[in-house]
Amino acid sequence: MSSNIWLAASDGDLAAVKKFIAGGISINAQDEFGYSPLHGAASYGHTELIEYLLENGADVNIQDPEGDSPLFVCEAVDITKMLIKAGANATHVNDSDMTAAENAEEEEWFEVAHYLRELTGVPHPENDADELEDGMAHLMVEKDEEEPESDEEDSSKDSFKDRIETIMKATEADGKDRDEELKAVVSEMLAAAGPEGAAALTKELQAQMNN
């Protein structure tokens, strides 16, 4: 059995967590670093334990000394959705002036970051038009032959490529700023790709922007 409730929560040991609580440990007790059992369970994606904690009074918006709520340690979208459904504040800003979405981007949990930004309507990171064009051109490159695309996927990809090329040509012709149009196409691409595809595309685009 784990030596304390926080280790038990991180290990997903529901029986041990129940024993600690039955023994008088608060369900919202925080360790020396400010982590609560819900922080630990959310960080390691223990869904059954998270459900138990939330159903028994765990504070979904409890904060550590840096202002990080359990939402800030979620590495997977399904866990993030559980906390949001339970009332987690997706617009909360921690002591570093970061939202959970921005924190997820810094940690390279891109799928979580994308979900939270779409949920809250917070714009995706600003990028210059040239960077967006380069990044989108990179994403239009054919995938490895070991993962052949279906006709439907090819058609969808061609559609996005055509729209991007149209925007880029219009920008070259009149010099107008079309960053927002390009960003809208990026968002649609990510949405169409689904959770797993969105994570991969976002990571590729992020890497391209940083080069």
Residue-wise pLDDT tens digits, 19-72:
999 999 999 999 999 999 999 999 999 999 999 999 999 999 999 999 999 999
Lowest mean pLDDT among 50-64, 87-101, 155-169: 155-169
Looking at residues 124-138, what average pLDDT do you find? 51
Residue 110, domain CATH: 1.25.40.20
Proportion of the chain above pLDDT 70, given as a percent: 73
Q: What is the mean pLDDT of the chain?
A: 82
The number of folded domains in the chain is 2
Residue partners of 177: CB distance under 8 A and separation at least 6: 129, 171
Higher pLDDT, 93 or 125: 93
Same domain, 100 and 16: yes
**Domain boundary residue, one of 91, 120, 149:** 120
Q: What is the pLDDT of residues 1-25, one digit of tens each?
A: 688 999 999 999 999 999 999 999 9
Residue 132 above 60 pLDDT? no
Same domain, 47 and 74: yes
This prediction has a pTM of 0.61
Looking at residues 192-209, what average pLDDT do you find? 62
Same domain, 145 and 105: no
Confidence (pLDDT) at 164? 76
Confidence (pLDDT) at 175? 74
Residue 124 above 80 pLDDT? no
Residue 192 above 60 pLDDT? yes
Same domain, 21 and 89: yes
Same domain, 154 and 195: yes
Same domain, 12 and 75: yes
**Domain boundary residue, one of 93, 120, 147:** 120
Same domain, 11 and 114: yes
Same domain, 66 and 170: no
Same domain, 9 and 48: yes
Same domain, 170 and 109: no
Looking at residues 110-128, what average pLDDT do you find? 79
Domain of 167 in residue numbering reads as 129-210
**Domain boundary residue, one of 89, 120, 151:** 120
Looking at residues 96-105, what average pLDDT do you find? 94
Same domain, 102 and 56: yes
Same domain, 41 and 143: no
Confidence (pLDDT) at 142? 44
